[in-house]
Each structure stands twice: as C-alpha cells, then as structure tokens.
Structure 1
C-alpha cells in the first residue's frame, strides 16, 4: 500500500518504522528538516520537507495515488486539516491523532464530518491499557478480544508455584479451570507451547481464560491478586488525567504528583476527587510523607524515561505495590526487561498497534476476513490477532473442518472462538464457521487474513 505519514515525532517515527517493516511504500512529511533527514537515512523511506497540511506538499508526496494518510504531528489542528485536504485531494482513507480532551469529547462528530477512518488519542489509549492492568493486578499485560469477553493475560510464574515443573496438559487437572496457555517466554526465547511443554518458575506466560475464573486461578498458582484501592501517579500529563478520571469512577483513591503549579491547578479543577500534590515525586521524603509504602499501586508517568525507571525501582525496594512504568524509548530492552519495573507501557507502540491493525484490515477485500484486534507480545516477537471469519473463496479450505484436520503453520495456536456470543476454548474437534471471530497467537508475524494461518 502507498501510505503517507505526516509528523516525524516519537509516534510518527515508530509508525513509519513498523509500516516499512510490513512492506508498505511509505512517504514521510515533516517541517523539521533535521529530524526528517535522520528518519529518512535510518528507515530508508521517501521524505518530503514541508507542512503536511499544505496541498502542494501533499501533492509532492503523491497524495493522488495514496491509499492512506496518517497525520500524527503534535498539533491536533494540523492533523485534522491534513486529513481534510488529503480526503479532498487524493480520495484516500485518513487517520488523525487527536490529543486534546475537548476535541476528543466530540470525536464522533469530527470523524463523521471529516470522514476519518480513525481518530486516535495515544494518551487516552495508554491510560486504558494501564487501567486494565490495575483491574487485574497480577498481570504484566492484559489484552482483550471480542469486546472484552476474551482476555489474554500475561504474568510471571512465581517461585514455589504448583505450575513449576508441570506439563501444560496436566495443568487443568491440577487447577480445575479453562486456562489455555498460548505463549511461554524463557531466557529470551519465545515458545508457542504444546501440551507437552513443561512450565517453570520465572517463565513469563500468556494465558486465555474467562474473567470470572481469574481470581481463583491466581490464588491457586500462589500469585497475589489483591484489589487495587489506592493509586499514586507520578506526573500530571494527559495520560495521568485520563487514568485518574477512570479510577475515580471506580472509587479508587488517587494521588498525583506534579511539579508545575499551573498544571496542578488545572488538574484540581478537572479532578476534584483526586489529591493533587505540587511536588517532585523523586523526593523520597515527600513520597514517604504521602504514604508510598502503603499504596496499592504506583504508576510512573513523568516525561522522562530515566525518572520513571528510578521511581519504579525505588518503590519496588520499599513496597509491594503494583508497578507500572511508562517508557518511550525502548533502546535497551534486554536491560529493561531484567529490571523490576512491573508492567512497562509505551504509548507510541500502543498507537502503532492500533494503526497497523487498521492497515492490515484495509488490505483485505470487503468479503474477506478482517483483522479485528492486534496486539504484540513478548517484546514484539509474538502477535495475537482476532479475525472476523466471512464467507469467501479463500476461506473454503478452513470453514467447517475440524482443527485437527487443518494444516496450520508452525508456531501458531488458535486460542479462542467466539460464536454468536458463546466463547469456545477450542480442541482438535472444534471447527471454524462463517460469522465466528477467532483469536490466533503466533510468532509468524504479519498475518492479515484468517486463511494465512494455513501452510
């Protein structure tokens, strides 16, 4: 596909990198010449210097032949105007980054009037990801499918767990539940497991199970899962605002630390039920004074990765709080993965996942099987995808046949089937039917349709 990306910031750069890796022809527009030249040299894409909301610049970028324009500058107005011009000039699909909460409250009207294919708010998306992690405290990652009815939970197997040394085929007999193990990560290696795979303590695993069975499951494997009733947030940016707003609705006590006094005053007006502290969260005495040792969860959301890492390391050393750490630059993944930082959240990657899902859906014809959801797991080595199965020629080879009859690609597992609202944990005797949504976990990256699961 021919794709134009307007904006070469953190989100834009990450997006161009991933779209390029997916095999698309990408053109990048930015008015910061130094940043543009750096991205073009490193990513080997076409770069156009100029304002992305200019018709002339878009024409130079080839908007008349583009399939999609994605505007992700740090200015909402530029993004929306860029999409409007592209829609008129090139008749392509458009995606806009919209960050302002006031605009986002009216996003349905804006999408309809500007005919946007998607409007995305990275900070709001990150806040909802963090919210899911706080709702299931034992989880390191939580991904949802079938509109929240199917949950893929990642966690680390604790020491002395009854899972340690057990084959996956024996786990249901030990724990008596419907957990389906989809991925195992051990010493940097990712395994799509079979029933004979042996689990060990300190393995990071991803499991599909009904939400109602999770508390009992975590109790049985000796993994603490106490409910979160109080949360401390370092940093008073947009993610903190969206997160605090949802936590307050759930009757969770919220404290936010922010150094900028003017921002504190704004947050106090927007979030009257929260405690807003005008101070630096890196001040140990201030944290102690505000009860960091007693809080149920600590979320590091400042604008500096190094500060977030240090805060989480400090809180980990003095408390059993659930930790969530925002990191924008994942340059040293192996080092970061070895640190006790709890769940690591990267807003630019969350945004890229959502847009890549839309792009893969665009590649399919109207009667094919679209990608409904897409998540990247285990340091981006595995993808979890949800496909909507439709009646078409390319799906004839798999519809109505039992899973044991299908010649599936290696390192691929069908985790769940949603059939008319009934969630099926599949066995070899189950089938895929028209109208199903199917969740697939695989280390074979870039699948774009359900038929891609076959060899």
Structure 2
C-alpha cells in the first residue's frame, strides 16, 4: 500500500519502521528537515519537508495515489486538519492521533463528522495496557484474541514455581488445565516450542488460554491471580489521568504523586476519588512515607525514562508491589528486559502496533484475512488471528497432515462461538477464527502458514 505519515517524531518514526518492514511504500512529512532526512535514510522511505496540513505538500507526497494517511504530529488539531485535507485531496483512509482527554469523550462524533477511519490515543492505549496488567499482576504482558475470550499471558518461570524441567506436553495432564505454551524466550533466543520442549527456570513464557483455564494454571503453580487493590503512581500526566480513571472504576485505591502544584489542583478536580499528593516522586523518603512498602502496585510515569526505570527498581527493593515503568525513548529493550522490573510499557510501540493491525485489516478487503495482530517477544514474533472466508489449501485436512512452516504454531480455533486448543487431529473450516504464533513476519493470509513447495 501507499502510505503517508505526517509527523517524524517518536511515534511517526516507529510507525514508519514497522510499516516499511512490511513492504509498504512510505512517505513521511515533517517541518524538521533533519528528522525527515534521518527517517528516509534509516528506513529507506521517501521524505517531504513541509507542513502536512498543506494541500501542496500533501500533493507532493502523493496523496492522490495514497491508500492511507496517518497524522501523528504533536498537535491534535493539526492531525485532524491533515486528515480532513487528505480526504478532500485524495481518496485515502485516514488515521489521526488525538491525545487531549477533552476530545476523547467526543471521539465517535469526530470520526463520524470528519470521515476518519481510526482515531488513536497513545496515552489512553498505554493506560488501558497498564490496567490490564494490574488486573493480572503476575503477567508481564497481556494480549487478547477472539474479542477478549482468549488471553495470551507473558510471564517468567521463577525457580520457586517448581515447573522447571516440566515438558509442555505433560502440562494438561499434570496441571489438570487446558493451556498452550506458544512461545518461549530463553537467553535471547525465541522458541516456538513443540510438546517435547521442557520449561527452564528464568524462561519468559507466552501462554495462551481462556481466562478460566489461565486462572486454574496459575493457582496450580502457586501464583495469586487477584487484581491489585492499591496503586501508587509517580507522575501526573495524561497517562496517569486515564489510568487513574480506569483503576477507580475497578475499585482500586489510587494515590498520585505530582511535582507541579497547578497539575495537582487539576487532577484533584478531575479525580475526586483519588489521593493527589504534591511532591518529588523521586524522593525515597516521600515514597516510603506515602505507602510504598504497602501498596500492591507501583507505576512510574514521569517524563524521564531513566527515572521511571530507577523508580521501578527502587520499588522492587522496598516492596512486593507489581512494578510498571513507562519508557518513551530508550532503544535498548534487550538490556531493559534484563532489569528486575515486572513490566515496561512503550507507548510509541503500542501505537505503532495498533496502526500495523489496521493496515493488515485494510488488506482484508483486498483478499487477506488477518483479524488481529500483535507483535510479541520484543517484535521477534507475531501472534495473529485469521478468519477463514473461503475454501483453500489449509481447509479440510487434519493439522498434522499440513506442511506447516517451521517456527509456527496453530494455537486456538474458534468455531460457531466455541473455542478449543488446536490439536493435530483438528481441521480448519470456512467460518473458523484461527490464532497462530510464529517468528515469520508479514503473514496476511491463512494459506501463508504453509511451507511453500
């Protein structure tokens, strides 16, 4: 597809990187010549220097032939104007980043009146991701499929769980639960495991199951599954506001530490049920005084990545709280993964993943059938949900008889509203939803799971 991205900031360049790797034709627009040149060189894409809300600039970028325009500048109103001009100048779909909480309450009206395809809010997306993790505090990451009926939970195998050495094929019988281990990250390597692979201590495991079976599995290995009851948040920005709203609806006690007096006053009005504290959230004594030792969750949301990581590590030292740190700019994910922090949230990656899913969904109308897509294991693998719309080479045969790609696992089948873990004797049929995990990138049709002759 021909895709124009307006805005070469953190989010724009991350989207450009992901979409160019999927072989789309990308043009990026920004007023900053240096950013445009760097993005064009780094990702082998086209660049246009100028105002993305200018008709002439959009024409120069090829809006007449574009399939999609994505506006992710730092200004909501500019993003909306870019999309409005693109709708008039071309016939492309449009995606706008809109961050202001005031607009978030009017998002459906804005989409309908302006003809937008998608409105994306990175701060709200990050807050929803964090709230999912606080519902399931033992998880490092939670992704959902089949409209929320199947979860993929990423967690670490600690020695005290006593499951090291257990073969994957033995889990259903020994644990009396129906779960599937679909990916393992071990010493920097990603494994899509067969049944004869054994779990090892310190593995990062991605497990797929329906919520009831997930809870049963974790209960068997001695992990508590209840959501947190209290949360201490450092940093009172937009993510903190959205997160606090979510947590208060979940009946979680919320305390926010924010340094700016005027922001504390705003938050006190917006969140009357939360406790808002003015102070330096990096002050260890203040954190201890405000209940760090006793809180069940600690979320670091300051504007400094290094600060968030250090605060999460401090929380690890002084409490048993679930720690979550927000990271915007640091690119050393493999180093961060080695830190003893429960979960790290990358808002720019969440936004890029959301838009990548949408571009795959756009291709659905062109004959593809990807329903859901998640980049997992730091982008080294993908989890996809396909809808089978017609007979093909994969339908009507037991899975055991299909020549599937290496490093690919068919995990779940949803048929007539019923979910089941895929086994070798199961076949795929028209109308099925099928969940697949693989290290192969760019699958956009169910037949892509087959090894090519």
TM-score (norm 2): 0.97
The aligned counterpart of 1:388 is 387
Q: Which shows bigger deviation, 182-191 or 416-425? A: 416-425
What is the DSSP-based 3-state SS (H/G/I as helix, E as strand, rest coil) of the residue aligned with 1:287?
helix
**Counterpart of 2:357?**
357
Q: What is the DSSP-based 3-state SS (H/G/I as helix, E as strand, rest coil) of the residue aligned with 2:444?
A: coil
Deviates more, 1:41-50 or 1:23-32: 41-50
SS at match of 1:143: strand
Q: Is the 8 A contact 2:301 2:325 kept in 1?
A: yes
Residues 158, 222 of structure 1: 8 Å contact kept: no
Q: Which structure 1 residue ranges, 5 or more long, are not aligned?
A: none
Tell me which moved more, 382-391 or 292-301. Answer: 382-391
TM-score of the pair, normalised by structure 1: 0.96
Deviation of residue 38 (structure 1)?
A: 2.5
1:143-181 Cα deviation digits (max 9, x unpaired)? 001111000011001104342111111111211100111
Q: Could you say what secondary structure the match of 1:206 adopts?
A: strand
Give the superposition deviation at 1:224.
4.0
Residue 426 of structure 2 corresponds to which residue in structure 1?
A: 430
Unaligned residue ranges in structure 2 (runs of 5+)? none
Q: May I ask how many residue pairs the two structures share in their alignment?
A: 451
Distance in 2 separating the partners of 1:420 and 1:267: 46
- 2:4 paired residue number: 4
Q: Indicate the SS of the match to 2:159.
A: coil
Q: Distance in 2 between matches of 1:448 and 1:330?
A: 30
Q: Distance in 1 between matches of 2:118 and 2:96?
A: 7
Is the CA contact 1:412–1:453 (under 8 Å) kept in the aligned structure 2? Answer: yes
Aligned counterpart, 2:171: 171
Structure 1 residues 219-228 or 404-413, which shifts more? Answer: 219-228
Query: Aligned ranges for residues 49-448 of structure 1 at < 5 Å?
Result: 49-365=49-365, 368-391=367-390, 395-448=391-444
**What secondary structure is seen at the aligned counterpart in 2 of 1:433?**
coil
User: Post-superposition shift, 1:264?
Assistant: 1.1
CA distance in 2, matches of 1:27, 1:194: 41
Contact preservation (8 Å) 2:405, 2:449: yes
Q: Distance in 2 between matches of 1:424 and 1:431?
A: 12
Aligned equivalents of 2:303, 2:431: Cα separation in 1: 44
Tell me the CA shift for residue 85 of structure 1: 0.8
Q: Secondary structure at the match of 1:232?
A: strand
Alpha-carbon separation, structure 2, partners of 1:369 and 1:85: 29
Does residue 1:23 correspond to 2:23, yes or no?
yes
Q: Secondary structure at the match of 1:424?
A: strand
Deviation of 1:225 after TM superposition, in Å, equals 3.5
On the 8 A contact 1:369/1:390 being kept in 2, the answer is no
Q: Distance in 1 between matches of 2:315 and 2:364?
A: 47
- Distance, in Å, in 2 between the alignment partners of 1:330 and 1:382 is 21
Q: CA RMSD in A?
A: 1.3
What is the rounded CA distance, in whole Å, between the counterparts of 1:349 and 1:397 in structure 2? 34
More displaced, 314-323 or 330-339? 330-339
